[in-house]
A and B are shown apart, each in its own frame.
Chain A
Amino acid sequence: MFGAQGYAQALMLNVAGEVFAIDARQVREILDPVPVTRVPGAKPYFASVLNVRGKVIQLADLRLRFGLPPATITQDSRFIVLEIEIEGDPTTIGIVADKVFEVAELDPATLQKTPPVGMHWRPEFIAGIAKWRDEFIVLPDMAKILNAQGN
């Protein structure tokens, strides 16, 4: 994700108390929460859809994906619309963030591999760890997290 081209711009957001950095090139828009429609029978973390400018898109709840209780919508919550390639198809998908901070430049020099222990996220979901404001933040591998099989 943060390749050899030097600094990468990333959207910093908070999900369940953890700070994430999402490649800014994948972010289409950031929306205030709107009412969503539940899809009965769908996997819990993909359980709702919403209307984004006339398109019906999927809303994924990362908390459920990570085995945490579902997100509660607060004043700070935002829906982040991403466009990522999932299993070869460019896919538009929304995720719920508890808070959005800013778009920051990440220094690739601070980039580290995922430590094998000490994380409560599943290791295969994490592309790496970077440093931002003297804090360690997670770079999630969104394509893996959001794969349709959900395994």
Chain B
Amino acid sequence: MSENTDPADIFRTEAAELLEQLETALLDLERAPADSNLINQAFRALHTIKGSGAMFGFEQVAAFTHEFESAFDRVRKGETAPDPELIAIALNAKDFIRELIEKPEEASAVIGMCILTDLRKLTQAPQAGAALAAVGPEAAAPAPPTSELQHWRIGVRFHKDVLINGSNPLLLLDELRALGDCNVTVDCRDLPDLAALEPAVCYFTWNVELTTTHPQSAIEEVFVFVLDEMELKIEAGTAPATEGRPAVATQEPAGEPPAADAAIKRGGKEAATIRVPAERLDEMMDRVGELVIAQARLSQLAGAGASTNGVAEEIERLTSSLRDAMMGIRMLPIGSLFGRFRRLVHDISRDLKKEIELVAEGEETELDKTMVERLADPLIHVIRNAADHGLEQPEARIAAGKPAVGRIRLVARHAGAEVLIAVSDDGRGLDAKRIRAKAEEQGLIAPGAPMSEQQLYQLIFHPGFSTASVVSALSGRGVGMDVVRRTIDGLRGSIDIASEAGKGTTITLRLPLTLAIIEGLLVRVGDARYVAPLTSVEECVELPPVVGAGSRGRSFLNIRGELVPFLRLREMFGESGEPDPHQKVVIVSHNDARVGLVVDQILGGHQTVIKSLSKFHADVASFSGATILGDGAVALILDVPQLIAAAQKREAHVNSGKSEAA
């Protein structure tokens, strides 16, 4: 498969990572402007983007980044300090590079020029405005000012293997052409006879006469990445009468068509590659190797008609470790997501004129790749909401005796089979009264309906609900939080809200660890088999005969002195026939709530590969998915949170009806 990988895609993946590094460095730089490590880090990222951009034919990217880099070079040399204004523009420039890479047909050269002009103004770069030419083809047309025209004679000879190493001399010559009036002649003296010709060897030497306003360093810059692989001679000459000579028809950026093609091919989809630590791949390779050996043994034993128990056990062990290794590969640290939010907070903080500090913890917490991707949107909304509605303006904060700088904490951690992602702010907190008033006004709840604070808080996720009196550019339309809830529901997670007036709000997203494979407990209800996720199973007990045979009204068990409500799955799932004489209860828990599930038989542990149910079953709440058992039959996976909710509903019903439950 890797043979078919489009090199442009490799560049895109690489560039995306580099841009992320660049952004991180720039954002850090805002706080520590003097940190030369950070400056160098940003500079390195720029330099690599430029280099590989040119290598893969992303001409515009290379040209723009080059300009960016030269402006930034002044920061590196300590001639300009990276003040917030410069960083804001540098961030814009970074965004523009991303656009050039991802959607070159949409990126406007004019915007690029504006950004560069701003950058230069701030860094007071000496070579004002001229070298822009390569950014957009249309910008290349006007001849540079004639005042400082200088004539250069340039000899270019590449080493033979320059093409093999991935450089394209023609692109470099095009870059030269972009510098000014340029006459390129090729010297084919070294070209061998056809029989001796190696197609991958560069036999040509070029002589270039260039008339330009750029200094010699600009010419050297063009070849900076191939200097090791070439001989470059640059001689200054007297400017000939250029007026008379027709401008050499410059071939417009040759690198553009492939880039555009690739963009179309990608169809705007997320790059579907994932970077995997090599050691995890090695581990997997080892397991696969062992598996192949075990398989060979199995064939041999099967052929000889011998007992296969030992091999079966070995294969079982290998499969499970292979599964673990595979899962590891799908896991991504959530920090990759957190990085984006720093930029978000930076921008929000500027737009809202609030000083906001984002503190991230638990960035190393790993989550399934699909989950990480799908969490980006909801988290953006939650963070925006915290910044816009949660945090007060600096004056109000000082008046309330809090530091002027608002703080948003982003914490990720594992808790059992769940990952918790908490976004907390130290702002004004949710105003339950106001939420109630607004909800009553909008007719979401009946006036005076008894509701717990938690229930009131949950209303903020209702579509169209917003307590903000003013709709800002950021939030207030009541759309964002609805997105949050729908996404989290879709991932089978849940949302908790805690809030204290004047102290702040914490919104916690609880998510299942993985979407792919879980350990399950296989149970039988009537003729059907079901899987309960083992992580939510607390214990299994026998249903006391008294309770089992007893009245329908009582559906509580006494588990070591605690009352646990139970659900008879037979009734719930409409199983006909007689229940087994000794019914078992599987006690499951979720969010500190416990419920017993009465089943006919507990069959044992089961490695459960989760298959999603089709949309035809979107309305079936009791199951979170299905799996395939060893005999090929399908078993449904019990959705514990939903079952607990069902039990609680019934409990509430029983409690309000008659308080006979002892």
Within the complex, which residue of B611, B612, B621, B633 is in contact with A41, where a contact is CB–CB below 8 Å? B621
- List, in ascending order, chain B residues with CB within 8 A of A43's CB: 616, 619
Q: Is B617 an interface residue (CB 8 A)?
A: yes
CB-based contact B614/A57 at 8 Å: yes
Shortest Cβ distance from B622 into A: residue: A41
- List, in ascending order, chain A residues with CB within 8 A of B615's CB: 89, 91, 148
Q: Tally of A-B residue pairs with Cβ under 8 A?
A: 68
Bound-state CA distance A51–B609 (Å) is 13
- List, in ascending order, chain A residues with CB within 8 A of B634's CB: 36-37, 49-51, 56
Instruction: Mark contacts of A25-42 with chain B using CB atoms, 8 A cut-off: 1 yes-contact digit, 0 otherwise.
Output: 000000000111111111
Docked complex: B623-662 residues within 8 A CB-CB of A: 623, 626-628, 632-636
Q: Is B195 an interface residue (CB 8 A)?
A: no
Bound-state CA distance A41–B574 (Å) is 9
Q: A56-B611, A148-B616 in contact; A40/B628 too (CB < 8 A)?
A: no
CB proximity of A65 to chain B, nearest CB, Å = 12
Q: Is A113 an interface residue (CB 8 A)?
A: no
Bound-state CA distance A60–B616 (Å) is 10
Shortest Cβ distance from B633 into A: residue: A35
Q: Is A115 an interface residue (CB 8 A)?
A: no
CB-based contact A38/B617 at 8 Å: no
Bound-state CA distance A92–B618 (Å) is 16
CB-based contact A46/B616 at 8 Å: yes
Q: A49-B626, A56-B611, A148-B618 in contact; A40/B574 too (CB < 8 A)?
A: yes
Bound-state CA distance A57–B626 (Å) is 10
CB proximity of B379 to chain A, nearest CB, Å = 27
Bound-state CA distance A148–B619 (Å) is 10
CB-based contact B633/A51 at 8 Å: yes
* A side interface size, CB within 8 A: 25
Shortest Cβ distance from B611 into A: residue: A56
CB-based contact A37/B626 at 8 Å: yes
Residue picked from B614, B628, B632, B634, most chain A C-beta under 10 Å: B634
- List, in ascending order, chain A residues with CB within 8 A of B635's CB: 37
CB-based contact A42/B616 at 8 Å: yes
Bound-state CA distance A80–B611 (Å) is 21
CB-based contact A56/B626 at 8 Å: yes
CB proximity of B515 to chain A, nearest CB, Å = 15
Q: Is B285 an interface residue (CB 8 A)?
A: no
CB-based contact B573/A40 at 8 Å: yes
CB-based contact A41/B620 at 8 Å: yes
Shortest Cβ distance from B525 into A: residue: A40
Q: Is B528 an interface residue (CB 8 A)?
A: yes
CB-based contact B621/A37 at 8 Å: no
- List, in ascending order, chain B residues with CB within 8 A of A89's CB: 615
Q: How large is the interface on B (under 10, 10 to 19, 20 to 34, 35 or more residues)?
A: 20 to 34
Q: A51-B628, A56-B626, A56-B628 in contact; A37/B616 too (CB < 8 A)?
A: no
Shortest Cβ distance from A86 into B: residue: B615
Bound-state CA distance A49–B628 (Å) is 11
Bound-state CA distance A42–B619 (Å) is 7
Q: Is A55 an interface residue (CB 8 A)?
A: yes
Bound-state CA distance A49–B634 (Å) is 7
- List, in ascending order, chain A residues with CB within 8 A of B627's CB: 56
- List, in ascending order, chain A residues with CB within 8 A of B618's CB: 148
CB-based contact A46/B617 at 8 Å: yes
Bound-state CA distance A55–B633 (Å) is 11
CB-based contact B621/A39 at 8 Å: no
- List, in ascending order, chain A residues with CB within 8 A of B574's CB: 40
Instruction: Mark contacts of A113-151 with chain B using CB atoms, 8 A cut-off: 1 yes-contact digit, 0 otherwise.
Output: 000000000000000000000000000000000101000
Bound-state CA distance A51–B618 (Å) is 19
- List, in ascending order, chain B residues with CB within 8 A of A56's CB: 611-614, 626-628, 634
CB-based contact A58/B614 at 8 Å: yes
CB-based contact B633/A42 at 8 Å: no
Q: Is B572 an interface residue (CB 8 A)?
A: yes
Instruction: Mark contacts of B295-307 with chain A using CB atoms, 8 A cut-off: 1 yes-contact digit, 0 otherwise.
Output: 0000000000000
Bound-state CA distance A41–B626 (Å) is 14
Shortest Cβ distance from B574 into A: residue: A40
CB-based contact A39/B636 at 8 Å: yes
- List, in ascending order, chain B residues with CB within 8 A of A49's CB: 613, 617, 626, 634, 636
Bound-state CA distance A148–B428 (Å) is 45
Within the complex, which residue of A40, A55, A60, A146 is in contact with B611, where a contact is CB–CB below 8 Å? A55
- List, in ascending order, chain B residues with CB within 8 A of A39's CB: 613, 617, 620, 623, 636
- List, in ascending order, chain B residues with CB within 8 A of A34's CB: 632
Residue picked from A50, A51, A57, most chain B C-beta under 10 Å: A51
The 6 closest A-B pairs by CB, nearest first: A40-B573, A37-B634, A56-B611, A56-B626, A46-B616, A41-B620
Selected A-B contacts with CB under 8 Å, 25 pairs:
A37-B633, A37-B636, A39-B617, A39-B620, A40-B573, A40-B574, A40-B620, A41-B620, A41-B622, A42-B617, A42-B620, A43-B616, A43-B619, A49-B617, A49-B626, A50-B634, A51-B628, A51-B633, A56-B613, A56-B614, A58-B614, A91-B614, A91-B615, A93-B616, A148-B614
Residues of chain B touching chain A, judged by Cβ–Cβ distance below 8 Å, are: 528, 572-574, 611-623, 626-628, 632-636
Known: A38-B528, A40-B573. 7 other contacts (CB 8 A): A40-B572, A46-B617, A49-B626, A49-B636, A56-B612, A56-B614, A148-B618
